[in-house]
Amino acid sequence: MAADLKPGDPVRVREDYPPGHIRTPVFIRGKQGVITRRFGEFDNPEIIAYELTGPKKTLYQVRFRQVDVWPGYAGAANDTLDIDIYEHWLEKA
């Protein structure tokens, strides 16, 4: 887990495919990006969807280069995609 990340830190999204209510898009799993913002701690939507409770998780904004996300991306090399991802999906790169 990566609750101590800060803007500018490179991260990789965990490549995992658990069943259930998962908020991390499949297309971004295993990809590397950079932390751009720390939003704070929130209830984990992956467990509150089942009316369960647990520890709060830190939510981050992560920026990815489109050329790293989409094979054969034909746009500009500096095009980016920002996605909000909870700490338990991130590892330091």
Domains of the chain as residue ranges with CATH: 10-92 (2.30.30.50)
More confident residue, 83 or 49: 83
Query: What local confidence, expressed as pLDDT, does residue 44 receive?
Result: 92
pTM of the model: 0.91
Q: What is the pLDDT of residues 64-92, one digit of tens each?
A: 999 999 999 999 999 999 999 999 999 99
What is the rounded end-to-end Cα distance, in angstroms, of the chain?
12
What H or E segment, with its residue span, contains residue 14? none
With a pLDDT cut of 90, the percent of the chain lying above it is 77
Q: Per-residue pLDDT tens for 2-41?
A: 568 999 999 999 999 988 888 899 999 999 999 999 999 9
Phi and psi torsions of 62, nearest 5°: -120, 135
